[in-house]
Chains A and B, each alone.
Chain A
Amino acid sequence: MATVERKTGGGIGEAVLRKEDRKFVTGEGRYVDDLRLPGMLHAVFVRSPFGHARITGIDTAAAEALPGVHRVLTHATLPAETGVLCASNPPGSDVRQPEQPLLARDEVRYVGEPVAIVIADDRYLARDGADLVHVDYDPLPVVCDAEAALADGAPLVHSEYPDNAAATLFHETDGFAEALAGAARTVELRVVNQRVTPMPMETRGCIGDWQQSTGEVTLHTSTQVAHFVRTFISFVCGTSEAKVRVVTPDVGGGFGAKLNTYREEFAVCSASRVLGVPVKWIEDRSENAVATIHGRDQIQYYTAGVDESGRIVALKLEAFQNNGAYHQLLTPTISHLTVFMVPGCYDIQNISIRMRQAFTNTTPTDAYRGAGRPEATHGIERLMDAIADDLGLDPAEVRRVNFIKPEQFPYSSSTGLVYDSGDYDTTLDEALRLADYAGFAARRAASEANGRYRGIGLSTYVEVCGLAPSAVTAAIGVGAPGWEHSTVRLHPTGKATVITGTSPHGQGHATSWSQIVQTELGVPFEDVEVIHGDTAFQPYGLGTYGSRSLAVGGVALYRSLGKVREKAREIAANLLECSVDDLEWTGSSWQVKGSPDRAKTIQELAGAAWAASSMPEGVEPVLEATTFHDPPNFTFPFGTHVCEVEIDPDTGRVEIVNYTAVDDCGNVINPMIVDGQVHGGIIQGLGQALYEETVYGEDGQMLTPTLVEYLVPSAADVPPMTLARTTTPSPSNPMGVKGIGEAGTIAASAAIVNAAVDALSGLGVRHLEMPMQPARIWNVIQEATS
């Protein structure tokens, strides 16, 4: 793809440099740890060192005697109004919802579960105090693996749930069994999507500020979902939602880790309520590894019935999802996203899926970039290669015979979705061309001459984005909608403020939203300010996750801009003494058709609307509009990623020598930002494929508690990437946009693993688990060659 010229301002489709950048490159960003409130104290949590234990006593006397320590709170000494936390699923759903007290009541169920909070003058003293809190534990048996937890006789995570079953999803199409029985051949594959941890570079942190006189509480927190947090504070802290304000400062990355409502957020509010001063808590990295949600941890058993061409005539998936010890905000929901996307971009009409979710003595899992969809994509894309391998076919051809064809859109999937638009063959063709798929055999021969294995792998993906139509969230048991809010306000001087319910933390919404305003309303890019993440400004915002911001929040903005434009048109007609039908929009003004000298710019109209001295009958002053946009459907970005690897047989290291991605996210607002999202997404998928794994020992101890053991890759550990795009607009929204935040992560892991399996296919290797660390690959080679 030709490099797009970058500019300092512009409209839709242009590579505009970000207006957010200057504060970050000068060190003037304001993250939560950078905030100081008068009289503020500092909190450190005392956490469980055991995977499962009964608490038999807590002695806080020594800690409270330490000079500088103000208070130590435990479950017993939290304010009486304090409630418990649970998932967003409303009561009465099929999901089991264990109560999650803010501080452990009588039992701890994973390493890192908070037991007490120590509040002191500064964080050094709070840490000293935490070391002096003495907790007596009576250890209990642990279980950390989902399949083991669901087996007979497993230790119980919650004694009230005698089978550790958290929830089960089952979906089967009519005629499935007959279709599978009638298949010419069957292909089976077990795939493990290992546990990983989001690890945004900024850990979590928050400051609770409870005004004792008024009962008003302000929480400054590093979150993706300020309004969810506000709603939950009202429940958990026992106060009025109208008294709660949640403010999001700059957020140093989220990836789902901050798409949640956490015990610490409520605990600092409660501590501030007790002490009457603001209380700050900043998570340590080694705390983040156990106290913030993990992702994935799903075991899949696929059975595909196929014909001789490799076409899937029936597909069965039996899966086990490890939910962890409790349900966080969306824990039970993630599996639904996997179930939705099991067929991928393939026309599979007969399907059977059973997803068993288990409680275990581990940190809860929840949304991590891709959230349920990487599990589906990795599985089906590995299965495609297994089918090709078993039948002796080209993996690209097996994909082609199974693709949903362009003329089948809108396409009703066997899992109940309606895919909006797609052209899967085109992205595949383009990716194979860019990656020189045809020339691979020669490159493999050259590598083999050097004593190295070489392989090439594909991942053709489709994802469900733009979360979410509210009717669907209700149907899958989520007690929250999926719409988004926007307000556009023109000031008397013609400058614009956009208030958005999205909550960017690196995605560049201030830039992209300004581009949309410039194109749709003619207010220059630099005259637009974007406000987000503060519940005092927005009626409600659902936040930023699930590649939803543009397809839902951006479209909400687009609709508000249209409302402002139409209102301006009425005012212009009045001022120009003509009918609205006589006016045409020039991109920045309303003018009488064919008469450029008779026109009013949007800035002039904003001033006139504010002055209100010459308004049309029945039109209210001020150019301002608000939209709550509930999307009629999801969006379905897609694409093809191609990875080429070399493997060193002596060490087992997998080295990526070429990575090509062709993505289609519909219409693009800012190609520079889209490329950046794809780059980052791919490297997170690569991290899971090659480096990252969150590991528990059999005793429930966390074996990867710091960035020394949990291997987030650096620049030195990853390759450059080649990106390209095709454009298939979504018909589901007037902007034709889809979403791109998670595509790279969803696609990458399968492309990389498929390449490594291909490299070793000559040895008879048919599957590799992640992460493909050198020792694992070397063992596989040894077994295959011995």
Chain B
Amino acid sequence: MAQSYTISGYVTETGSGERLVQANVFEKGSLKGTTTNAFGYYSFRLPAGYYNLSYSYVGYNSLLLPVSLKSDTVINIELSGIQELDEIRITATDPEAERYRLLISQLNVPVEKIKALPAFLGEADVYKTLKLLPGVQSGNEGQSGLYIRGGGPDQNLILLDGIPVYNAEHLFGIFSVFNPDMIKNIELYKGGFPARYGGRLSSVVDITSKDGNLHEWKGSYTVGMIASKINLEGPVVKGKTSVNFSARRSYIDLFSKPVAKKLFDENNFAQYYFYDVNLKVSHIFSDRSRLFFSSYYGYDDVSTSIYDSYLQSSNRWRERNVFGLEWDNLVTSLRWNYVISQRLFANFTLFSTSYNFAANHRYTKESDEAGYYDDFEIFYGSRIADKGFRFDLEHFILPGYTMRYGYHFTDQGFYYAFSDQKQTYNRANLRSFVGGHFDMGKPWLHEFYTEGDLKLADRLHINAGLHASFYMTDEKNFSSLQPRTSVIYQISDRISVNGAYTKMTQYINLLSSSTFSMPSDLWLPSTAKIPPPQSNQFSLGGRIDLGKGISMNVDAFRKDMKGLIEYKEGVSFFENKKDWEDKVETGLGYSEGFEWLIRKDKGKTTGWIGYTLSWTRRKFDNLNNGRYFYAKYDRRHDISVTLTHQLKPNIDAGLVWVYGSGSAATLPTQQIRLEGLPPGIGQTHVLGYYSERNNYRLPNYHRLDVGINFNKEREKSTRIWRVGFINAYNQHNPFYLYVGWEVNRPVIKQVSIFPVLPSVSYTVNF
């Protein structure tokens, strides 16, 4: 028996030195091989002999390398990106490589392709493109968060370079916090979660940022309708140290403020703006040792002031209403990769991540002549802050057999502040204050995992593991063992089937209104009264390679959840959250459905069509009389069509069409007259009545976005004009509904916020 040797190394991009994540590396004949890890490293073993090694990555030219294997070998490979001006854009990898990937409810989102899609108000958004994939919903217009396979926005683990981000969207969901210029790779898991991930029930969005160009300085700037951004990357020390910096700022406030002043008066204004900054510094000590520092900070600010002065009963009255909202994310990490041996890759991470939110409202009314003064101010603030460290080890044991182990520790902090001040000089001098700063918990989370990735025969591929977690709070400790299993079986060269089972536990909840989803939603820890939510998910699916770069994926899933929370009936979203445990109900839910995706990755026209059919229900003992009801984001049908077409070598066009069945809302559709009531509110009283929670369906949502990109190559730069229309046929999609009056009768009124919008941006890459 021939002796086996290890082949290992890094796969990087030609020119920049950027490491490529999930690049395929395999031996062409036997298909033995692996994919690069999150740091671009690969390792596998083959018996001594002659081989043709294939290296490939989406959007890059594949490389076939003949190798004579006689000893442990380090092969670092550079792959060159496909030129955008090529007549035929090959965006798929070698079909043999493609089916090698374990595609259990896992999707890779090609970042470069996303930039070709119509940009919203000039901003290409890779995170928002996730919402075009089957199984992923975006909620209603103006609503932030991802809703994946029936899970709420708090059930998604969104990682930036391995560190959780708590609020991933600016401007109520219109833009994500992820600057596309900084993103190298996005992996989305909707099921079949590998054991190395934990802490959320419904999905993992694993985003890797670019390290920065190791060999030359490059950059870009973009001027768009809502925001502008700049990106610079380059070597601090050539071949050793790189830096990648990007910044973005909106300028809605620059025109909203003068517009408000013009419409009202000098003392009135309304403004919104956001900015974000990314910085990443990478240093290569040696082939075995690399250090990365990355940091992200993003900030949003909304504020309005409405002032009125009027005469009443010969007295001058003045009223002012000032309202402010602000929130920010700060994510920082320091990571060290170390190749312990050719088959043992280690990563150490120190990190901190925080999300802060504050809302303030002040109302004053006064009249010197009337001797009246009324002033109240309410403040609400919340903060979640994590810090900790992670240790991850990859052991490349045999070709097709990799083990992963890890330990993660997180020190969490939850804080809440509230104050309600009132002062009045009308008739009597009364002053009241209620409030305080509350520590909502400082739990510790310990996580351990072991994960095996095994290819048993040429056709059977298994990923199995165990994720164990221990959550320690002041009141109670929780523990959870979460088995994970995914299996893929290659029936033939073109057809594969897969199945997966995962158990997930999450130790935090997002307390949000059933009617709104806002950045003021409060992150809270599991407690003795509110145990951690858990889910069990089964999925079955298949993949068919139809040839000519066309493939089809089908998936069916069933997810059962328990420990879900909802506000109790009648509770106000703006109430004091100090005693939040007494204001929520716990219950269970399930989601089941079917997903279908057909995609074309080769040729002048590429894209995909996705369809989801699903049901999502909840059950709480003290809500809806203990009966099952549809969740507010239950959407029966969800369709997305995404197409890009190369019109000319320097012109490409994109089209996105989305359709979703109306989501659910609670609307009293009947009135009842109650008689014989005791004194208090009137002995006969008319009230609204609905037989079921979330009984009403909002109108169906659909929208067409079209765009065209003009590329112009100059000597030292590339200029791109992106022009398009968002909501091209001016569909009025619902933002919210309310019952109003029209010609003396009540009617349902719908408010929409986005009519047809032109979208223009200008980008220079240099």
A and B found bound together? no
Chain B residues near A (Cβ < 8 Å) = none
